[in-house]
Amino acid sequence: MKAKNYRTMERPFTRVDYIHGAPQARLAKYDYGAWQSNYEYRLRLVARESVQIRDVALESARVAAGKMLSQKIGTNFYLIVRAHPHHVLRENKMIFGAHADRLQEGMSRAFGRPVGRAAQVEAGEDVLELYVYGKDIELAKQAIKVAASKLPKSYNIVLERLETRIQEPQTAS
């Protein structure tokens, strides 16, 4: 199956007690960097339309943005993945190859086996959140753009200036 088959929203399938062999989410961690209460700016990556994002795409976006930021500005940032992959993806595998003259049609509306996880993100919902200082704002914008290029569909980058000291944000883990 191609990855684009999993982009459209479908009915969420999250009850893991009923799913035998549901894979774990392949996100190593949901927050990255060093938290400090005096960050000046917050950048948010906001989905323009509803989309399902696979866990490996979220991990790829986190790693790409985090690596770029840590190489350029060290630990003066804090990156959070806000989308959590609860939805279990299924695939009904078909037989093809040796001695298969035709592709198998299979049962209609077959349930399928679990093959991965995805986060279901509605339009206007945050996918990533990044806290930085004012001197690093241009680099942070570039890092968020790199992260957005790893994800399906299109996103807006929202820049907010933080006026007062902020408390540590709650992570999705």
φ, ψ at 127 (rounded to 5°): -105, -50
Q: Count Cβ neighbours within 10 Å for each residue of 152-170 and write b for 16 or more, e otherwise.
A: beebebeeeeeeeeeeeee
- Residue 16's pLDDT is 73
> Is the CB of residue 53 less than 8 Å from the CB of residue 151?
yes
- Residue 148's pLDDT is 96
Radius of gyration of the chain (CA): 19
- Residue 131's pLDDT is 96
* DSSP-derived pairing of the beta strands 41-47 and 87-91: unpaired
Q: Averaged in consecutive runs of 10 residues, what is the pLDDT profile of the chain (173 residues)?
A: 63 74 85 91 96 94 96 94 90 67 64 86 95 95 96 95 76 63
pTM of the model: 0.81
- Residue 51's pLDDT is 93
- Residue 114's pLDDT is 85
Rounded alpha-carbon distances, angstroms, from residue 73 to 4, 26, 76, 133, 160:
35, 27, 6, 10, 20
- Residue 147's pLDDT is 96
> Is the CB of residue 129 less than 8 Å from the CB of residue 42?
yes
Per-domain residue ranges for the chain?
Answer: 3-91+109-161
For residue 54, give the DSSP letter: E
> Is the CB of residue 39 less than 8 Å from the CB of residue 78?
yes
3-state secondary structure of 120: strand
Which CATH number does 3-91+109-161 carry? 3.90.1170.10
